[in-house]
Amino acid sequence: MKISTYSTAELQKSYGIDVTALDTGAAARLGVAAAWVSVEPGARSDAHQHDETETWVIVSGTGELTVDAGRHAVRAGTVVQFEPFETHTVENTGDTGLLLLSLYWRDAGRAVRAAGDTGHRRFGTRPLFVFSSAPTPNGDLHLGHLSGPFFGADVFVRFQRMLGADAWHLTGSDDYQNYVVAAARREGRGPAETAAHYSAEILATLRLMDIDIHQYTATSRDDAYPDALRAFFSRLTDSGTVAPRAGAALFDAETGDYLYESGVTGRCPTCAGDTGGNVCESCLEPNVCTDLTDPRSTASDAPPREGTVTRYTLPLHELAKDIAAHHRLGRVPAPVKELAERLSRREHLDIPVTHPATWGVPPAGSAVEGQVIWSWLDYAFSILHGIEALGDGLGRSWTAAKPEQDWKIVHFLGSDGSFFHPMFIPALYRLAHPDWTPDIDYHINEFYLLDNSKFSTSRRHVIQGKEILGPRTVDSIRFYLALTRPEGRRTNFELAAYETYVRQTLIGNWQGWLTGLGDRVEKRYGNTAPDAGTWTPEHMAFLARLETRLAQLTGSLGQDGFSLNQAAEALNGIVEDVTVFSRRQAPAADVESYADETRTAVALELAAARLLATCAAPVMPRFAARLAEALGGPPPAEWPDTVTLVRAGTEVALARREFFADPQEAEPREEASPLLPWLSGLVRETLRLPADASVHDSSLVQIGMESLQAIALQYQITEQVGADVPIEDLLGERTVAELADVILEGAEPDAVAAVQEVTT
């Protein structure tokens, strides 16, 4: 027998609270360990996860337990069991000590099952807000942009929705960036006009990439945004931490302009690499411009002069412990944690959060006349504002002023945002909303290179999204970017390598197998799926192999191990596996006495095709829908638990089906319909889009048209050119350019001539 009595003498700090281990005697040989845990009034344990199963018995006191953002009251007599990897913390909410007994043990099987659970961390029950970092509207999106946050977030949300999660993809345009002013100056127009133009182009390019956006916030065109941002800023100043402070600043020696961000370059004070103002893309550390070595103004050749200016400033070093606690809660890549530790060594890290400028939102009050709120602080609030705007459209009562503990936020970003997103922004939330503990995961990609050097619009070393994306190329582009996007290291895109991959792998292997399978089903079974007959050991092994591929894809698309590189490899692995299987089964395929074994082999190939269609849906939605249709089913909507055969007798239409087009032949440029300019204008007018918004290559649904708007457009078409176009056609998959051809066929010739005269 073992008797243990709680004593304060042997307590040691662990996870931020007091713990003392117990001798569990014979139970220790079974792997069971125990400890007394004491939490002082007002104290809270650090959030953590572990592989053991753990049981708590609350002996005395009261508290609040937080498990995967769910909160639960506990008191003396409460017993709690934690599954492996549940994120948990306990807070003493009473006036006396909270004492509990912890019993924990390892169960390898239980831990493995918990690690593979796609719903763990309550991803299936919480609102899931997935953000791709808002682009700066100073240019359109090129392939490097598209390979990163936008694509990653789109696939992530599609997969989570197939699991049944309430997941949404949010982004927008970061309109008040200093870089917008620089672009406006180059192009000879105002920053508002520049932001509106490129924001529309960015959204059109995202649609060409089949990236679904559920909330797109253009901050400079949202009338409610400035006052809401000021209110958020006032919360920061009310905390007492963000306050006006005099500090050194750089000014252009000739114009006297205040220099920051795009206005100044130099060598990084940390790594000595070339950098712009405020953050280094090489070592990822922030700078304050005055600490740059050999600073240079981008507007003149004379060395900048240093002066003093009073700006609202955030002493970020005072929040280092809060940032570290935030990083223990969600998914935070190791390089971010290392960067945070590196920055925590600085004695002071004072970040100005207002700057002398005219483009942006001035803070309330007059402590810093002629200054605007810094775009990165603006961006921090735009995240909360986007959630509120999404909620307004869904009839949900989410508000930016009162973020909820149950919210789960996931950020997809480039590595150059490694300081701002996981460190600067959570620190702001801590000050503005001290009662909110934001639960945020971060997925970070590195730079995607073009021919082994960075994409550069100024050097014309770039492939714009609109140059390469179209209805027949988008699946190929999405798959190749999934395969080669820069996860954990820089990767490279070469146009010739992409085209070769499409021809050899997607057309040669994927399409070759699928159409060949279709030919065999047509010849032997009259274009209907055969029922499985006799099973051989090889058949059973192949079915098990498909189950392994399903498990790989579930893990590589899941919230913890998300990797499009691995997902693309696993999708291609299905095709590689099935082509080997098919080749090995082929010698006996026409032997009459083995007909029952042959139809089992064909049924398994059809099962592989069905698995490919379903699992490819998050990555290649058009391909997945076409393949599912060819197998007699609807577009995939649910993630499978297991591999299933195609129901016997189902009509199969794989023979001679095109799934991928040769990149050189994919988008033949035909003469545009004479009605295209007129129809494009009608669409922009109906949806209140900018006059130069690109709509030709998108469907009306992709552009954002809903039923009532489609009815209004239908009426205008009938009134002006006499064509009767069904609503289902308007809201179908045809692009605006294709709809113009359809309308032309039914239009009155005189009416066509009339609208041509007006639009030319």
Q: What is the per-residue pLDDT across 541-587, written as a single tens digit (0 to 9) for each?
A: 999 999 999 999 999 999 999 999 999 999 999 999 999 999 999 99
Please name the residues in contact with 393: beta carbons below 8 A apart, sequence gap of 6 or more: 215
Dihedral, CA of residue 470, residue 471, residue 473 and residue 476, to nearest 10: 130
pLDDT at position 760: 60
Q: Which CATH number fits domain 495-630: 1.10.730.10, 3.40.1350.10, 3.30.9.10, 1.10.1060.10?
A: 1.10.730.10
Q: Over range 280-287, report the average pLDDT.
A: 96
Contact 275, 224 (CB under 8 A): no
Average pLDDT over every residue of 514-540: 97
- How far is 201 from 208, CA to CA, in rounded Å? 11
Reported as a single tens digit per residue, the pLDDT across 621-649 is: 999 999 999 999 999 999 999 999 999 99
Q: What is the pLDDT at residue 671?
A: 57
pLDDT digits (tens, 9 = 90+) for 164-195: 999 999 999 999 999 999 999 999 999 999 99
Rounded to 5 degrees, what are φ and ψ at 288? Answer: -115, 20
Closest CA to 739 of 748, 752, 726: 726
Cα gap 500→510, rounded to integer Å = 14
What is the architecture, at CATH level 2, of domain 128-229+374-466? Answer: 3-Layer(aba) Sandwich (3.40)
Which two tokens mark 32? 């069971």
Contact 51, 105 (CB under 8 A): no
pLDDT tens, position by position, 362-380: 999 878 999 999 999 999 9
Kindly state the tokens that stand for 343.
């920055």
Residue where the block lists tokens 């002082």: 40
Percent over 70 (pLDDT), the chain: 99
Domain boundaries, the chain: 8-115, 128-229+374-466, 495-630, 676-759
Most confident of 123-127, 598-602, 697-701: 598-602
Predicted local confidence at residue 745, as pLDDT: 81
- For tokens 């003392």, the residue is 20
Does this chain's domain 8-115 share its CATH topology with 128-229+374-466? Answer: no
What per-residue confidence (pLDDT) applies to 668? 44
Q: What is the three-class DSSP state of 178?
A: helix
Rounded Cα distance, 118 and 134, in Å: 27
For every residue of 204-260, which 3-state class applies, written as one string? HHHHHCCCCCCEEEEHHHCCCHHHHHHHHHHHHHHCCCCEEEEEEEEECCCCCCEEC
Q: What does residue 3 show for φ and ψ, rounded to 5 degrees?
A: -120, 130
For 579-616, the pLDDT digits (tens) are: 999 999 999 999 999 999 999 999 999 999 999 999 99
Residues in the chain: 760
Backbone angles phi, psi at 58, to 5 degrees: -75, 120
- Evaluate if residue 318 carries a pLDDT over 90: yes
Angle between helices 595-616 and 564-585 (to 10 degrees): 170
Can you say whether the dihedral through the CA atoms of 665, 669, 673, 679 is positive or negative?
positive
Residue % of the chain over a pLDDT of 90: 81
pLDDT tens per residue across span 8-19: 888 899 999 999
Whole-angstrom Cα distance, residue 58 to residue 462?
Answer: 62
Write the pLDDT tens digit of every residue in 323-360: 999 999 999 999 999 999 999 999 999 999 999 999 99
Q: How many CB atoms lie within 10 A of CB 156?
A: 25
Q: Higher-confidence residue: 534 or 7?
A: 534
Q: Measured between alpha carbons, how far is 570 from 612 in angstroms, rounded to an integer?
A: 10
Q: What distance in Å separates the CA atoms of residue 365 and residue 377, rounded to the nearest whole number?
A: 17
Question: What integer is the mean pLDDT of 428-442?
Answer: 97
Rg (CA), the chain: 30
Using the 8-state DSSP alphabet, how is residue 424 labeled?
A: I
pLDDT at 517 over 90: yes
Distance from C-alpha of 241 to C-alpha of 349, rounded to nearest angstrom: 13
Mark out the alpha helices in 2-150 (DSSP H runs). 108-115, 143-145
Greatest alpha-carbon pair distance for the chain in Å reads 101
- From residue 514, give the alpha-carbon distance in Å to each of 237, 578, 644, 657, 664: 62, 10, 18, 8, 22
Q: Which whole number is the average pLDDT over 255-283?
A: 96
* Secondary structure of residue 190 in the 3-state scheme: coil
Q: Which two tokens stand for residue 630?
A: 């060819």
Lowest mean pLDDT among 160-169, 439-448, 630-639, 708-717: 708-717
- Architecture field, domain 8-115: Sandwich (2.60)
Q: Mind giving me the DSSP string for 298-331?
A: SS-SSPPEEEEEEEEEEEGGGGHHHHHHHHTTS-
Q: Residue 715, class by beta-carbon neighbours within 10 Å (0-12 exposed, 13-18 middle, 19+ buried)?
A: exposed
Burial string for 36-67 (b: 16+ CB within 10 Å, else e) reads: bbbbeeebbbebebeebbbbbebbebbbbbbb
Tokens 């009261």 correspond to 62
Q: Is residue 3's pLDDT more than 50?
A: yes
pLDDT at position 561: 95
Question: Is the predicted pLDDT of residue 758 greater than 80, yes or no?
Answer: no
CA dihedral 442, 446, 448, 454 (to 10 degrees): 130
Whether residue 670 has pLDDT greater than 70: no
Average pLDDT over residues 508-527: 97
As a whole number, mean pLDDT of residues 112-131 equals 88
Say what the pLDDT of residue 666 is: 63
Q: What is the CATH number of domain 676-759?
A: 1.10.1200.10
